[in-house]
């Protein structure tokens, strides 16, 4: 039996996007189980269904032969150990440590960027992006750190991805790429080229197509728009 990956709405769920893209890019068979975001109250359908698989009550959750793994970093490490031939982390020790470092930084940091630039793939919100960068210094600081990180990694490892070939790090930053596009964040050429390459990954193309096909406007995920 193939693994199951429980995810939320593809248009909104940046956490779900990471392991989904990783699995698709690595060509690891899995079954997608989409749990629609109806609400996040304990008695909601989303929370009730998710509680059957994870005590954390959040997506994503990977279930492999009845064993559940939650949290995107834990899922990534589980897959890297189960499929060492896929080389999901860089092969060289220091590069591997740096890849883990930047993934952990993304996992726990960039709070202002997350708050002011929530993932919304089908939206186009350039004015929101300009205003946030102008009025909220922590957002500008997060973006500056991101651009510095990506520029340094691409220069050090020569591209086309952050550590040369596709790795867990690129899967972790794929949702950030979608945020930068939604809010039309100005990018230096080297980063803009990386964004285009991430956009062209088959896993990202497939996720984006599914997100655009959802047509599921959720008010509680929309701080900048109202239902038409």
For 11-25, how does the pLDDT look when each residue is reduced to its tens digit (9 = 90+)? 999 999 999 999 999
d(CA 182, CA 125): 6
d(CA 212, CA 220): 18
Q: What confidence score (pLDDT) does residue 163 get?
A: 98
> What CA–CA distances, in Å, run from 221 to 39, 161, 216?
10, 30, 10
Is residue 128 within 8 A of residue 183, CB to CB? The reply is: yes
Q: Which two tokens stand for residue 186?
A: 């100005």
Which residues are registered as beta bridge partners of 63?
4, 68
Radius of gyration of the chain (CA): 17
d(CA 142, CA 145): 5
Residue-range domains of the chain with CATH:
3-86 (3.40.30.10), 93-211 (1.20.1050.10)
Strands (E), the chain: 3-7, 30-34, 61-64, 67-70
pLDDT digits (tens, 9 = 90+) for 159-207: 999 999 999 999 999 999 999 999 999 999 999 999 999 999 999 999 9
pLDDT bin (cut points 50, 70, 90) of residue 1 is: low
- pTM here is 0.97
């Amino acid at each position: 039996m193939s693994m199951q990956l429980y995810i939320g709405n593809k248009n909104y769920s940046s956490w779900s996007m990471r392991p989904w893209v990783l699995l698709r890019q690595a060509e690891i068979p899995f079954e997608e189980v989409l749990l629609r975001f109806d609400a996040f109250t304990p008695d909601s359908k989303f929370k009730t269904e998710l509680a059957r698989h994870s005590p954390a009550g959040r997506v994503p959750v990977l279930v492999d032969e009845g064993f559940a793994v939650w949290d995107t970093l834990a899922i990534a490490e589980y897959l890297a150990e189960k499929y060492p031939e896929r080389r999901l982390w860089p092969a060289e020790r220091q590069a591997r440590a740096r890849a883990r470092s930047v993934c952990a930084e993304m996992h726990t940091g960039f709070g202002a960027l997350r708050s002011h630039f929530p993932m919304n793939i089908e939206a186009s919100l350039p004015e929101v992006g300009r205003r946030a960068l102008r009025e909220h210094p922590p957002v500008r600081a997060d973006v500056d750190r991101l651009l510095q990180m990506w520029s340094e990694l691409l220069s050090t490892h020569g591209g086309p991805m952050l550590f040369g070939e596709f790795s867990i790090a690129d899967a972790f930053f794929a949702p950030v790429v979608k945020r930068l596009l939604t809010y039309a964040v100005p990018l230096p050429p080297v980063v803009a080229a990386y964004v285009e390459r991430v956009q062209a990954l088959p896993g990202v193309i497939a996720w984006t197509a599914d997100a655009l096909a959802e047509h599921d406007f959720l008010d509680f995920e929309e701080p900048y728009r109202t239902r038409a």
